[in-house]
Amino acid sequence: MSYRKAFIASNALMLAAFVWAFAKDFNAEWKPYQKQYYQMAADEMEKQAAAEKDEKKAAELKAEARKMRRTPLEIKQIIANDLGRFDRCVTCHVGMDEYTNTTLKNSFTEHPYKAHPKVDTALIKAHPFSKFGCTSCHSGQGLATQVDAAHGWVKHWEKPMLKGATIQGSCVKCHDNFETLKGAEIAAEGKKLFNKHGCQGCHAINGVGGVVSVELGDIADKPFERIAGYNFKKIRIDGKELPNEHHNNHWNLQNWIRAHLVNDPAAVTPNDPFAHYNAEPIPPSGMPDFREELSAEGAEAITTYLSGLTKEEIIPYRYHVTAAKAREPQLTGAANGKRVYEKYGCQGCHGLDAKQGRRRFNAAGEGQKEYDEKL
Amino acid sequence: MPTLDLEKIKKEIIDSQLWRSVFRGGVWKDTPRDRAGHIIGNVWLHLHPVKVRPRALEWLYTWGMGGISFALYLILTLTGVALMFYYRPTIGLAYRDIKDLEFAVTLGMFLRNAHRWAAQAMVVAVIAHMVRVFLTGAYKKPREFNWGIGVLLLTLTLFLSFTGYLLPWDQLAIWAVTVGTNMAGATPVLGNEGPLGSLMGMRINNDVRFTLLGGTMVGENTLLRFYVMHCVAVPLVVGILLILHFWRIRKDSFSAAPYVANEEKVDVWPHLVKREYIAAAATVIFIMIWSILQDAPLEAIANPNVTTNPSKAPWYFVGLQELLVYFDPWIAGVVMPGLIVVGLIAIPYIDTNPKGVGYYAWKERPFANTMFMLGVVMWFALIYIGYALRGPNYAWYWPWESWFLNKPAPPPTWSVFGPKGVGAYSMLIGIPLLGAVGAAWMLLPKLIQKELDGKKLMGGFLGLLALFAAVGMAMGRMNATQAGFLLFLVGASFYYGFVLPQRHIRTLDWPRYLVTMVLVTSTMSILLKMCASLAFDIKYVLTIPALSMNF
């Protein structure tokens, strides 16, 4: 090839590569969603216009729809400065953008077009999007503008979007005594179960509780590096292995917490004498097996409660809501003994109602023999 | 109908006051005078001479690597300046700004990818350029000084890449930089963990590592320091050295030897310039396509409380990190790299062989080429081991092994001369013994005046080693792997460190001979220590606890 041809070819290739790069950048993942939303919203308006009897109003609606169709596409974001949130979720979830959809309501039923549910409830009214953003409750990667990255289903984003009931864990971040809080029932149930089964006997939360095992006051900040990824292979949720597709969609902190309640903990953290990921040998988990006592819903509730315990997220004091602490009953005699037994989490090892102690801790107790035989 | 006389219009435009004020020279007539004028009349092209030897145009001679390195430097400058518009070097904002580049800035991801990949490519290109210059003997008189500048430029290229590594402020960045800068803390005398450091009053908060980090750990000050070094200080120094480098090429003339005596040189315009353009364009296309197809890595935000396992330095320093397995940090992280840089700069002054300037000369320069290429191969082999074969806890994982696999703990190590070996005071034997072996190794090749038969020498040595291994195996103290390591690595060290110097450099004068042998023996010490450590679990050959010196 002559140099003249190479010159022309290389210039053409440089131009082509630049066009390719620009095209890739221009065809961003969020654009079709936003465009589709405007079209759907405009269709809706035109339908309304056709049904409208007042001609002037119909013309106005039609004009509005035309304008809607031609809205330039842009990255939209909610800046919740106090909470350090910059959430671009509304770039695709346009129905939840207060500037495009002022009523925050629409008739669409599918994500990402549908509006936020329950916008009329006190819950949402107390948490305006403009102040709280999206990720302070839902988690996920607010800065991202691609589907997988935004929902946190990528490597190295350790706070994927909270699914199902676990979102109530976010209430725990600001509401200190949330036992009676409306909308946080599952988290409250989780806290109740946590104390009922005596978890606090070994796991302190913010200094309250035993020191047998790790403190859980910042369990939501646990880095995946310390979970030791390979352990996800050992856990079973609903009797099934967790798929590793869509990073962090399944291999995440919530499932790690849940795994301790729906598996034998010794299977989740087995003996590791060579300390694969840590500097010192790891003994098998000494945590009792709670599968007998806890239902799947109970495990979900405790997971929900614990996934709101964070220290990493800095929440301004004025965002904290503290309800009155529940009063402790004044009891005497054996009843008081039972209260103390439960308050300090003795039942975690010695069993509910001081029966069926675990791991031979209560050899003299009623039912221990049967329990041992079952093991 | 008036005819359109294009030639006339062209001439009028070119002769206009506006055109002539901007471009020197009139209508192009493609005469030798025009071609020379094109080079001389242009400040940028003037970096070239007007004519070069035909060999300098050969791709197989130059590999185009010097020009490609410079093209990459320009790409890096352009993309780097563009990135500076979006980046703020504080720990609260840096990571977020990178996320913004990735998700919100038009072509932001492309820019970041191009900057990242061009930086990696530049490291490779500069090393390839050095290899080419070495193999064609281009560093020899009168170009010794320019080779030295080139070595400094290589070092600064690595340093630029290293300082840039921190800026995204993710886990990859903070731990790679922690690994890299911790080695500085092991500098002898100037580092708090280095030998003699504590004698000089070095503490964690006043030593050379502290100066580099602006603190006792990688933090806000480090980020700002690395940012300023990366964007301002080092590029400035590189720019100055580059000017010097180019100017000296021009003044010392390009190294290519003539094909035939009295051959005619060819015009740089257009013959060299067009080749340079194609090389630069190919580089740009390569970087662009790479940047489109692969995104630069970005891990979780930096967290000083969570150490990644394994933590690895940037790939071009992973070879030195791998040396940390075999040596103490002050040797692996300071002495060895120091010897590499000083040794490279010293090469033109110790290589007195006048042959092989300006062409590939394997036969005429057997010793120089063999030792240099051995060094290059070892550098990349160590990088490969550290990068691809080291898993969690820096244990050895073959490429086909999963990192989820449990590796047994390594067997306990021992030291030969020291408290954990022969005895607490065994250094009283070890120091003179190892000193004598070292001195003999250094001096014998030259003291034996006549050339020994290499084949017999090698055969005899390998025979002794095999005998030793056989006795060891018969006694049950050695297994086949250990014997293999012993024969291969110790045999190789003997061949490259004794047989070759004995054959080729015993005629050198003493100062040059000794400097060469220091470089040769320290290279071989790596092979020997790898053998001792990998096969025989020897941690140190000699320990002197009082001076915190271990070898």
Kindly list the residues from chain A whose CB atom is less than 8 angstroms away from the CB atom of residue B403: 230
pLDDT tens per residue across span B281-299 = 999 999 999 999 999 999 9
Q: Give, for B550, the enclosing helix (H) or strand (E).
A: strand B549-550
Cβ distance A145 to B104 less than 8 Å, yes or no, reads yes
Instruction: Say if the ipTM goes beyond 0.85.
Output: yes
- Per-residue model confidence (pLDDT) at position A361: 47
- Per-residue model confidence (pLDDT) at position A145: 95
CA distance B532 to B521: 16
The CATH code of the domain that includes A168 is 1.10.760
**Nearest residue on chain B to A312, judged by CA atoms?**
B303
Q: Tell me whether residue A157 is in a domain.
A: no
Amino acid found at A228: A
Query: How far A336 CA sits from the closest chain B CA (Å)?
Result: 43
pTM of the model: 0.91
Cβ distance A21 to B107 less than 8 Å, yes or no, reads yes
Query: How far B407 CA sits from the closest chain A CA (Å)?
Result: 7
Kindly list the residues from chain A whose CB atom is less than 8 angstroms away from the CB atom of residue B291: 21
Query: How far B60 CA sits from the closest chain A CA (Å)?
Result: 16
The partner residue sitting opposite A277, judged by closest CB among B106, B282, B392, is B392
- Same domain for A172 and A47, yes or no, is no
- Same domain for A219 and A313, yes or no, is yes
**Which among B57, B75, B103, B110 is the top mutation candidate for probing chain A, defined by the most A β-carbons within 10 Å of its own β-carbon?**
B103
Q: Tell me whether residue A158 is in a domain.
A: no
B96 CB within 8 Å of a chain A CB: yes
- Same domain for A290 and A316, yes or no, is yes
Q: Tell me whether residue A356 is in a domain.
A: yes
Q: Tell me whether residue A277 is in a domain.
A: yes
Strands B266-267 and B549-550 turn out to be: unpaired
Q: Give, for B432, the enclosing helix (H) or strand (E).
A: helix B427-447
- Same domain for A268 and A319, yes or no, is yes
**Nearest Cα to B281, choosing from A5, A26, A25, A24?**
A5
Q: What is the DSSP letter of A89?
A: G
Kindly list the residues from chain B whose CB atom is less than 8 angstroms away from the CB atom of residue A140: none
- Same domain for A59 and A168, yes or no, is no
Helix/strand/coil (H, E, C) string of B462-502?
HHHHHHHHHHHHHCCCCCHHHHHHHHHHHHHHHHHHHHHHH
Structural domains of chain B, ranges and CATH numbers in brackets: 125-258+317-388 (1.20.810.10), 411-550 (no CATH)
The partner residue sitting opposite A11, judged by closest CB among B104, B281, B309, is B281
- Same domain for A337 and A218, yes or no, is no
Kindly list the residues from chain B whose CB atom is less than 8 angstroms away from the CB atom of residue A232: none
Choose between A285 and B110: higher pLDDT. Answer: B110
**Which among B285, B293, B308 is the top mutation candidate for probing chain A, defined by the most A β-carbons within 10 Å of its own β-carbon?**
B285
- Same domain for A104 and A175, yes or no, is no
Cβ distance A274 to B407 less than 8 Å, yes or no, reads yes
- Same domain for A187 and A313, yes or no, is yes
CB contact at 8 A, B499 and B458: yes
CA distance B415 to B423: 10
Tens of pLDDT, residue by residue, chain A (375 residues): 689 999 999 999 999 999 999 999 999 999 999 999 999 999 999 999 999 889 999 999 999 999 999 999 999 999 999 998 999 999 999 999 999 999 999 999 998 999 999 999 999 999 999 999 999 999 999 999 999 999 999 888 888 999 888 899 999 999 988 888 888 999 999 999 999 999 999 999 999 999 988 899 999 998 887 775 556 777 788 778 887 766 777 888 888 899 899 988 877 877 666 655 555 666 777 788 888 889 999 999 999 999 999 988 888 999 998 888 878 888 999 899 999 999 999 888 888 877 766 654 444 455 556 655 655
SS3 state at A236: strand
The partner residue sitting opposite A75, judged by closest CB among B104, B282, B284, is B104
B299 CB within 8 Å of a chain A CB: yes
- Same domain for A315 and A185, yes or no, is yes
Tell me which residue range forms the domain holding A246: 164-326
Q: Tell me whether residue A314 is in a domain.
A: yes
Query: How far B284 CA sits from the closest chain A CA (Å)?
Result: 7
Lowest mean pLDDT among A160-164, B421-425, B499-503: B421-425
What does the CA dihedral A63, A67, A70, A71 come to, rounded to 10 degrees? -170
Cβ distance B107 to A146 less than 8 Å, yes or no, reads no
Q: What is the DSSP letter of B411?
A: P
Percentage of chain B beyond pLDDT 70 is: 99
**Which among A2, A4, A11, A18 is the top mutation candidate for probing chain B, defined by the most B β-carbons within 10 Å of its own β-carbon?**
A18
**Which among A2, A4, A8, A24 is the top mutation candidate for probing chain B, defined by the most B β-carbons within 10 Å of its own β-carbon?**
A24
**Nearest Cα to A267, choosing from A314, A242, A243, A232?**
A232
Cβ distance B274 to A3 less than 8 Å, yes or no, reads yes
- Same domain for A179 and A297, yes or no, is yes
Interface of chain A against chain B, CB under 8 Å? 3, 6-7, 10-11, 13-14, 17-18, 20-22, 24-25, 75, 86, 88, 141, 143-146, 149, 155-158, 223, 225-226, 229-230, 233, 272-277, 279
Q: Tell me whether residue A288 is in a domain.
A: yes
The partner residue sitting opposite B278, judged by closest CB among A6, A157, A272, is A6
**Nearest residue on chain B to A231, judged by CA atoms?**
B404
- Same domain for A358 and A344, yes or no, is yes
Task: List, in sequence order, every beta strand (DSSP E) within B127-259.
Answer: none
Q: Tell me whether residue A17 is in a domain.
A: no
Number of domains comprising chain A: 3
- Cβ-based neighbours of A46, under 8 Å, separated by 6 or more: A61, A62, A65
Q: Tell me whether residue A152 is in a domain.
A: no
Kindly list the residues from chain A whose CB atom is less than 8 angstroms away from the CB atom of residue B299: 155-156
Amino acid found at A335: A
pLDDT tens per residue across span B154-176 = 999 999 999 999 999 999 999 99
Cβ distance B107 to A75 less than 8 Å, yes or no, reads no
Longest alpha-carbon distance in chain A: 102
- Same domain for A72 and A108, yes or no, is yes
Task: List, in sequence order, every beta strand (DSSP E) within chain A.
Answer: 78-80, 85-87, 236-237, 240-241
